[in-house]
Amino acid sequence: MNILAEFQKGGIAMYPLAVLWFLAISVILERLWFWLRLLNQENQIVTRVLEAAREDWTLARDIAQRAIDQPIGRFLFAPLNLPRADAETFRLALESSADHELSGMRRGDKLLEAAIALAPLLGLFGTVAGLIQTLKGINIGEFSDPAKLQKVTEGIGISLYSTAAGMTVAIVSLAFYRLFQAFIFNQVRIFSRAGNDLELLYRQSPPDYERLRLSAEAQITEGYSAANTPTTISNPSETTTQDSFNYPRRRKKAQFGEPYESSSDTNSPDSENS
């Protein structure tokens, strides 16, 4: 069967149907790859972050930060990255992050909805146009001729190609659209459960911000001390520190009625002879 010949028999409506089919298949393949990667790693990320949060909030934040390429990682990292947050701010950060990630998961849904709605209508339009072309030059009296009757039936059958193509595009798009909606509904439950567990841990044992601040200050102090340690030279006679420099003497301010005396004058030979 020549696919191109059969495609052309469907009439002009087959061309927009072909465009819809290409767009729908592209969205379906991209979304399938997205959900395959997401579902394989999601439970592991949630488990690791919650287990780390029971012991150390800094470790939990680092684990979530390493998983920010996944929606669940960005969802958990948003509240954990807040410098100082109370329980209410922590909950608001979870809700805002969940709304943003769930809206991103619905990417491509509008195109699938358009394919579901337009494809049957385009197919029906092609069928009607084909029937008009087939029946336009046929007289009622010619139906008694078997050859004429066969030609009419073949024309009607060909005009139904566009309807079949439109129904195919709509059915495939609708099937995967419902599948992706089920995945999103499952994500809402996962985000809700993970967010509630993380918020409960935060309320029971919030981070010790004072200890974290002291730890950060200690690390900064250690780094500053290491950076300012004087360099030791192998020859002791060549060892020089900042304290061994001889700074020039500060000029003495002359009193009213006394001659001005500089540091260079006191060290000159004339001053010794005097």
φ/ψ (deg, to 5) at 73: -65, -45
Exposed, middle or buried by CB within 10 Å (0-12, 13-18, 19+), for 244? exposed
- Token reading at 115: 């394919």
The secondary structure element, H or E, covering residue 237 is none
Cα first-last separation, the chain: 125
Domain boundaries, the chain: 17-139+155-209
Length of the chain: 274
DSSP state of 8: H
Q: Calculate ∠ Cα 114-180-76, nearest 5°.
A: 125
| 159 Cβ contact list (under 8 Å, min separation 6) | 11, 126, 127, 128, 129, 130, 131, 133, 134
Task: Quickly list DSSP for 22-71.
Answer: HHHHHHHHHHHHHHHHHHHHHHHHHHHHHHHHTT-HHHHHHHHHHTTTSH
pLDDT of residue 82: 86
pTM: 0.67
- Among candidate residues 68, 92, 126, the one with its CA nearest the CA of residue 195: 92
φ/ψ (deg, to 5) at 249: -70, 145
Q: What is the mean pLDDT of each run of 10 residues along the chain (274 residues)?
A: 68 87 94 89 90 89 90 91 84 90 90 93 87 71 63 72 90 95 92 91 75 52 57 45 43 45 44 41
- Token reading at 109: 């849904």
pLDDT of residue 266: 44
pLDDT of residue 204: 86
pLDDT of residue 220: 59
- Cβ contact 123:148 at 8 Å: no
pLDDT of residue 56: 87
